[in-house]
Structure 1
Amino acid sequence: MVQKLDFETFFTKLDESTETIQSDCNLTYLESLIHTGKLLFLGDLNQPLSEIAHKKVKKAISDIHLDDLSKEEIRKTFQLAILKGMKEATQPNHAMTPDAVAMFMAYLVNKLTGKTDRFRILDPAVGPGNLLTAILNHSNKQIESFGVEPDETLLQLAYVNANLQQHKTELFHQDSLTDILVDPVDIVVADLPIGYYPNQENASRYRLKAEEGMSYTHHLMIEQSLNYTKESGFLLFLIPNFMFESTQAKQLHHYIKEHAHIYSLLQLPKSMFKEEKHAKSIFILRKKGAGVKGPNQALLAELPSFSNKHALSEMVTSINNWFDAYIN
C-alpha cells in the first residue's frame, strides 16, 4: 500500500531534490528550487545533471504525488523551502510576506468582496507569489489574477508556485512602475517595496515624485496601484509604520485624499518584527467612484499577536462588526 504524502515528507523530498541540484550545478538554493518545481509540474528537467545527481533527484520526486496535497499544503511547503533559500541569499529585495499576514489579508479580501462571485486582482509586487496564492486559496470565487515582479528569480518562484497550486495567474517580468498590460482590476494587494526608486526619469511621470532628490518607491507604487484599480475598487497594502512620518508624507496624504477613501489601518503586532523601525501595518483604501462614500468611521486597530487565539478571535469579531456596519 502506497503511503499518502504528508506535508513533512513533501518538504523533505522537495529539499532533497533542491540540494542535489544546488550541489551538482553550483546554483543557489532558490535557483535549484525553481528547477525542482518545474520538474514537478512539467515532468522534465531542463538543467543538465551528472548521472548520480539525476538518479537522486528522480528518486526524491518519484515519491511526490501532488494530488495527495491541498493547494494550501503545497503553498506552505513551498514557502518553507523559499524561506530556507532566502536565508542564504544576499539580495535585500528577496523577501516574502509572512504566512500569518498573508492569511489575514486573504480574510480581508473575502470581507471586501462580499457577495461578489467573481473579481480581478493584481499584485504589483508579487515576489515569490506567497501573498497572492494565499488569497486565491482562501476564496471560492472566480478570480482572474495578475502579478508583476522585476526580479527574475522571484518571478520564476511565483511561476512555479502558481503552477504547483494550479492557479492560472498571469505574471509580468518588468518594473512595476512602467506601463502594465492589464486592464483595471477590482482589487490590488501588495506588500510594498520600501526605499528609493532609482529611475528618476520614470519617476517624473508620477504626481508623487519627490520635489527634490529621489522618490520613494512605496509612494509611487500606491499611485500606480490606483491607476490600475477600477472606480470603487479596493486596495490593500502592507506599509511601513513610518510612511506618514516621512518628508514626503504630506504630499502622499493629499494625493490619497484626492483619489481614495481611507477604510482601515491595522497595525501588525510589533512582536512580528525584530526592530520597531521595520514594523508594518495593513492599509486599506477604496478608490473614489460614483455613489461611493468613505465609511463614517475608519477601522483603526492594533492587531494582537497571531498566536494569541482568544485575543485574535475577539479582534476578528470586532472587524466583522465593522464590515457589517460600513461595507455590507
Structure 2
Amino acid sequence: MSEKDMQSYFDKLNEANTLLGKSLKVGNVDALAETLTNISDNKVYVENDVPDKDTVAKLEAIYKDLKDLNLTPSQLKQAITVAIIKAQKDDKTEVNKLMTPDAIGLIASLIAYEVLNVQNKTSVNVVDPTVGTGNLLIEFIEQLNMTDKFKINAAALDNDDTLVALAKSFSEVMNLNLDAYHQDSIAEWDITDIDMAVADLPVGYYPVDENALKFKTKADKGHSYAHHLLIEQTMKNLNDGGIGIFIVPSQIFQTDQAKKLSEWMVSSVYLQAVLDLPATLFASKEAQKAIVVLQKHGGNAKQVGNVLMGTIPDTNNPKLFEGFKDQLQDWAKNFKG
C-alpha cells in the first residue's frame, strides 16, 4: 500500500467532508464526525431529506472509492488524523481542543506497556476523561494492540458533544470498541472498574465553583484549575492501585495552586514519574508539556524507590530513545505485584 493511496484516501475523505458540511450547514469537525460515522456504517445518514438525493449519490460513490483503497490500520489512522488537523485548522478550533500528536500517544503507550507487562495484566479497562478528537486514546490503544498481549476495553468522556461524536466515529472506522460519554468529567461518573487512565488535560479555570467544592485540589478562593480537579476526579474513579498517565503543563508544580495539588497527591496517590516531553513537539517554551504518572493507593501499590524524572528524548532519535526505553523497563520493575 503506497503513500499515494493514503493521499488519495485523505483527498476523498476531504471531498466527502466538504460536500456533507455544505449540505448539513455545519462546521468541518462536525461534518468529519458525521462522515466517519457514515463510512463506518457504510451508508449515508439522511434526516428530513438532508442531504438530498444528488448529494447522497455523490457521497456513496466516494465512500465506495474509500473502501476500495483498503489501507492498513496505521495508514487509515494517519489519513484520518491529517483530516482532523485540517478540519480543526479550518474551524479555527481553540488551543485546548486541538488534536494530541501521535508521538505523545506512542510515549504514553510505552509507559503503560512496561507497567502492564510487569503486572502480568491481560485484560485492561482504560479511560480517557478528556478524550477530545480521540487521537491520544486511539493511538494509545493501537500501539498496545500491536503487542498482542492485552485485551483492551476503552471508555471516553468529554464535555464537547462534537468531539465525543468525532472520537466515537474515529474509533468505529478503526474497528475499536469505545464507549463514549458526553459529560463534564468533573461531575459524577457512571463508569466503574477502571485500571488505567490516559489524558491530555485541558488547561485553565473550571467555571462551576459549586462542583469544585468537594475536591481537595480546589482553590482557596476564585476558580480552581480544571486540570487539577480532573486529575483528582480521575484517580478517585480508578481501581485501587490504578495508574493515571496525564499530559500536563510542564510548570504544573510551579503555579499558585500547586500547593493544593501536592497536598492532595501526598494523601491519595503515589507520584511515580514526571517526564518532560520532547521540546520539538511544541511551538514554544510556554506551550511545553510533561507526562505525570500517578498510582492510586491500595492494592499492591507502593511508592517507587526513585521517581522517574528527566526529559524524554525526541522519538526521531533512535539511539537516545532506546536508552529511554531501557530506563522505563528498569523503573517498571517497581510495579511487580
- Scaled to the shorter chain, the TM-score interval is over 0.9
- CA separation in 2, counterparts of 1:99 and 1:5? 21
1:137 positional shift? 1.4
Residue 114 of structure 2 is aligned to residue 111 of structure 1: yes
Structure with the bigger RCO (C-alpha within 8 Å, sep 6+) is 2
1:90-134 CA distance string (max 9 Å, x none): 342421111111111112111121121001111100111111111
In the alignment, which residue of structure 1 is the partner of 2:66? 64
Contact 2:97 2:202 in 1 (8 A): no
In the alignment, which residue of structure 2 is the partner of 1:236? 245
1:50 positional shift? 4.3
Pair 4,254 (structure 1): closer, same or farther in 2 beyond 3 Å: closer
Of 46, 56, 63 in structure 2, the residue corresponding to residue 54 of structure 1 is 56
Contact 2:217 2:229 in 1 (8 A): yes
- CA separation in 2, counterparts of 1:291 and 1:152? 37
Residue 163 of structure 2 is aligned to residue 164 of structure 1: no
219-228 vs 298-307, greater mean Cα deviation: 298-307
Which secondary structure state, in structure 2, belongs to the residue aligned with residue 205 of structure 1? coil
Percent of aligned positions that are identical: 26
Residue 99 of structure 2 is aligned to residue 99 of structure 1: no
46-55 vs 180-189, greater mean Cα deviation: 46-55
1:35 positional shift? 2.1
Which secondary structure state, in structure 2, belongs to the residue aligned with residue 319 of structure 1? helix
1:15 positional shift? 1.2
- CA separation in 1, counterparts of 2:42 and 2:300? 51
Amino acid at match of 1:254: E
Q: After the TM superposition, which residues 13-52 of structure 1 pair with which residues of structure 2 at under 5 Å, given as runs? A: 13-47=12-46, 48-52=50-54
1:52 positional shift? 4.4
Amino acid at match of 1:129: G
Contact 1:5 1:64 in 2 (8 A): no
127-136 vs 58-67, greater mean Cα deviation: 58-67
TM-score scaled by structure 1? 0.93
Residue 300 of structure 2 is aligned to residue 297 of structure 1: no
Contact 1:121 1:187 in 2 (8 A): yes
Which secondary structure state, in structure 2, belongs to the residue aligned with residue 277 of structure 1? coil
1:36 positional shift? 1.4
Amino acid at match of 1:232: G
62-71 vs 170-179, greater mean Cα deviation: 62-71
Amino acid at match of 1:61: Y
Residue 177 of structure 2 is aligned to residue 178 of structure 1: no
1:214 positional shift? 0.5
TM-score scaled by structure 2? 0.91
Contact 1:10 1:64 in 2 (8 A): yes
- CA separation in 1, counterparts of 2:153 and 2:194? 9
Pair 6,205 (structure 1): closer, same or farther in 2 beyond 3 Å: same
Pair 242,279 (structure 1): closer, same or farther in 2 beyond 3 Å: same
Of 255, 270, 281 in structure 2, the residue corresponding to residue 246 of structure 1 is 255
1:252-278 CA distance string (max 9 Å, x none): 101111111111111011222112111
Contact 1:239 1:283 in 2 (8 A): yes
1:199 positional shift? 0.5
In the alignment, which residue of structure 1 is the partner of 2:139? 134
Which secondary structure state, in structure 2, belongs to the residue aligned with residue 274 of structure 1? coil
1:180 positional shift? 0.9
Of 189, 205, 225 in structure 2, the residue corresponding to residue 196 of structure 1 is 205
218-227 vs 105-114, greater mean Cα deviation: 105-114
Contact 1:184 1:227 in 2 (8 A): no
Of 313, 316, 335 in structure 2, the residue corresponding to residue 327 of structure 1 is 335
Gap regions ≥5 residues in structure 1: none
- CA separation in 2, counterparts of 1:25 and 1:122? 32
Which secondary structure state, in structure 1, belongs to the residue aligned with residue 270 of structure 2? strand
How many residue pairs align between the two structures? 325
1:4 positional shift? 12
1:166 positional shift? 1.5
Which secondary structure state, in structure 1, belongs to the residue aligned with residue 175 of structure 2? coil
- CA separation in 2, counterparts of 1:40 and 1:24? 17
Contact 1:121 1:185 in 2 (8 A): yes
Which secondary structure state, in structure 2, belongs to the residue aligned with residue 261 of structure 1? strand
Contact 1:260 1:285 in 2 (8 A): yes
